Chain A
């Protein structure tokens, strides 16, 4: 398994290189530059600024300068945040996104799997229909509707919770964003679990287990749960990578200084280095999470072997 992991990680290096090159070309291909505004700068001042940020060099030279810095762990200065480096901005925002994301994922896994299992056991009953109705609603109502409604009700009307991140220093500010992030994930996971659980419960080995006289709880706990988790594990790899690197919508609505916000504003401001830095972090996360998902496969599915 260690050999397999190492091989996978080494194999990811060319992928990452391709991602970096493409991202570099794409951000530089977008019209406009980081310092463009309606207040067009006098030529001499524009030249000074371009020189300061090495934007006057030919693109290949800029690329090699950038890559050689990245290899040494330096993502360069942010063009928009002139007092900050990209490393500082990511180091400040990634932990916040990761904290929110992992809390939301935890909530989603616990609630989603429980709800999905209950629905599968009581297939076509009232319970099943209610759970699935909730899940369907959770999937179809987008976060940018749910989150403001939560804010309006719990923060503005009742004033129980802060409406924005900087409105409080306590853990209270985590609650609304975590729920907003978790709701659609709960819905997905509940539906996946239900479908997969129904499949597994219909398979011959479950019939055998029941025939041996095992109760429902023991059948689920010792026989059905593990194989039913396979689709969820493969769903979670990329889902976790996505949720940990920040949801732009939730971050905007609650004013959370997470990576997602910096990514979008960076792209709009043509903050080349900031966007590239976040793309690299995001790519590394996806590669890692996919690997972890594959490794967990081996733990829960005895048919999987790593070579």
Chain B
């Protein structure tokens, strides 16, 4: 066939052939490469390559100075003064100044930009009023004292502010209009990171090139980075096996054991700041004012079986809400953590009876999840565990994700629902704030005065150790209430070729391309 001839003439390109191009799997397209408008994990991964905040993370997940070389924090924890590197540059060679950070933060809260992450910096003076359109963005509590000095003023201490300032939404902006028009000309996107954008073919490929104006350019090893948009995990695996990718974004759950055997050390599994949970709708019966029933259901779920037999990718059973590995925090555990499953089941049965249910009068419960293979298998297993331990038959309802979200938010028909929470920054607050009674994302409808007041006291603390005690106390109250049922902690899963050097596992699952290199000899 003519096609055949065409093909033979062209040949294929494998990752081994071009030495200085790194090929990475990306999952879905970033929705935007405008740092202030982006939202997804994928966009953030890319933005960390092409942009840079005041601080960043090292390969092993430690906070390090980035665009700012040093900073001072006032004793009351309300004023931060950053010194921007004199040699920091934009990708077109323009010097990066404090003004650009002021512009970036103002863009983030300016209602006209409709930024998703505007609430990350609501503790900066006037931010809330600006988001609510009650004040102009120019009145935000950030100021460029001179070209190199940036001052940020807060309304209350935010001990995790430095880690927030690694988030792409806080990246600098070159002008009031932002850095770009990526769709029209990827090359015109101004950025200040180790790489700059060369091209973006939606649904397929994003190409990045070394930014020779970057202040630490000498440390960047790889010249070109290709991010391949691959939605299906099995497709990504095939492409990795075909030699088209150096690293994958994920690893499919199917045949995980076989992949492990085939790929050995290339499979990288690491603790991750994410919790898979079942939420109770606390605003309606049967779970409203019914801690016995909630505890019984929670205890009867054999988490070890779930993580070993169902998810099976190295996840760990969750007996706390905040995942282990969170900075400066030791998560308290559910009361029954150290009991055997049989003992748990016995207690669960008596609690179930105390709550007024029995074999003749079983509880009627619907468990809702978003339709996917893994979710259905987890739901089926949990249904069987409840049947076995407590003798009732939960009704399983699989729904498309957006339908499920709508139902959860409306809280009119949901009873138990599947949820997950991924930390935005490495601090317990990113998890614990979710359960505050005034948080719109608190879809359980948990409202505890004790919890709220402990969290408030923690928020007012400048001293990290005292703050931590309040936070741990708050989680202890939360777990005692059984307001939420943590099931397992997520892990990050990647395949990484042996020739890729500098890849280190970390809880945030950040892997900046500038930390990686390719060992050509491999």
Contact = CB atoms under 8 A, between A and B. Distances in A.
B419 interface: yes
B238 A30 contact: no
A265 B42 CA distance: 16
Contact of B202 (A32, A92, A173): A92
A45 B37 CA distance: 12
A261 interface: yes
Contacts, number: 199
B302 interface: no
A126 B491 CA distance: 57
Nearest to A151: B238
A166 B31 contact: no
B202 A89 contact: yes
A205 interface: no
A93 B204 CA distance: 10
Interface stretch (A77-85, A223-231, A292-300): A77-85
A256 B232 CA distance: 12
A186 B402 CA distance: 38
B86 interface: no
Interface residues of B, number: 69
B443 interface: yes
Interface in A34-92: 35-45, 48-49, 51-53, 80-85, 88-89, 92
A41 B201 contact: no
Contacts of B118: 45, 48
Contacts of B238: 148, 151-152, 155-156, 163-164
Interface in A253-302: 253-258, 261-262, 265, 268, 270
A174 B357 CA distance: 62
Q: Which of B118, B230, B242 has the most CB of A within 10 A?
A: B242
A93 B203 contact: yes
Given A40-B409, A83-B34, A155-B238, A172 B7 contact: yes
B119 interface: yes
Contacts of A265: 28, 231
Contact of A30 (B39, B402, B419): B402
Interface in B418-458: 419-421, 440-441, 443
A83 B402 contact: no
Interface string B211-243: 000000000000000101111101100110111
B406 A256 contact: no
Contact of B12 (A162, A252, A254): A162
Contact of A42 (B6, B231, B407, B440): B440
Nearest to B180: A83
Contact of B235 (A36, A89, A170, A255): A255
Contact of A32 (B1, B114, B180, B406): B406
A260 to B, nearest CB: 10
B34 A52 contact: no
A175 interface: yes
B437 to A, nearest CB: 14
Contacts of A36: 402, 405-406, 409
Contact of B10 (A31, A172, A257): A172
Nearest to A161: B12
A271 B235 CA distance: 24
A170 B10 contact: yes
A43 B242 contact: no
Contacts of B256: none
Contacts of B4: 175
Interface string A142-182: 00000010011001100111111111111111110010000
Interface in B380-432: 400-403, 405-407, 409, 419-421
A53 B128 CA distance: 21
Given A43-B440, A261-B203, A169 B111 contact: no
B259 to A, nearest CB: 13
A139 interface: no
A159 B243 contact: yes
Nearest to A269: B402
Interface string B3-27: 1101101111110000000000000
A81 B29 contact: yes
B205 to A, nearest CB: 4
Contacts of B116: 35, 41, 45, 49
Contacts of B230: 164, 255
A257 B12 contact: no
B131 interface: yes
B183 A85 contact: yes
Contacts of B10: 168, 170-172
Given A31-B403, A41-B116, A82-B32, A253 B235 contact: yes
Contact of A31 (B7, B32, B402, B440): B402
A82 B31 contact: yes
B268 to A, nearest CB: 21
A114 interface: no
A127 interface: no
Given A40-B440, A45-B131, A152-B238, A159 B14 contact: yes
Contact of B111 (A48, A165, A167, A257): A48
A167 B226 CA distance: 10
A249 to B, nearest CB: 10
Contacts of B400: 268
A267 to B, nearest CB: 10
A103 interface: yes
A166 B245 CA distance: 10
A161 B7 contact: yes
B296 interface: no
B44 interface: no
B433 to A, nearest CB: 11
B339 interface: no
A263 to B, nearest CB: 11
B368 to A, nearest CB: 13
Given A151-B238, A164-B228, A170-B11, A257 B31 contact: no
Contacts of B11: 170, 172
Given A36-B402, A49-B116, A41 B440 contact: yes
B13 A169 contact: yes
B204 A256 contact: yes
Contacts of A38: 405, 419-421, 441
Given A82-B37, A93-B203, A166 B440 contact: no
B98 to A, nearest CB: 26
A184 B24 CA distance: 33
B520 interface: no
A265 to B, nearest CB: 7
B229 A81 contact: no
Contact of B441 (A39, A92, A252, A256): A39
Contacts of A252: 231-232, 235
A11 to B, nearest CB: 35
A169 to B, nearest CB: 7
A286 B295 CA distance: 57
Given A81-B29, A168-B13, A169-B13, 19 more contacts: A31-B403, A36-B406, A41-B119, A44-B128, A45-B114, A52-B114, A83-B31, A83-B182, A83-B183, A151-B242, A162-B12, A164-B239, A253-B235, A255-B235, A256-B203, A257-B202, A257-B204, A261-B203, A262-B203
6 contacts: A33-B402, A92-B201, A164-B238, A171-B3, A178-B3, A261-B203
- Please list the 3 inter-chain residue pairs (A to B) with the smallest Cβ-Cβ separation, ordered nearest first: A32-B402, A170-B10, A257-B203
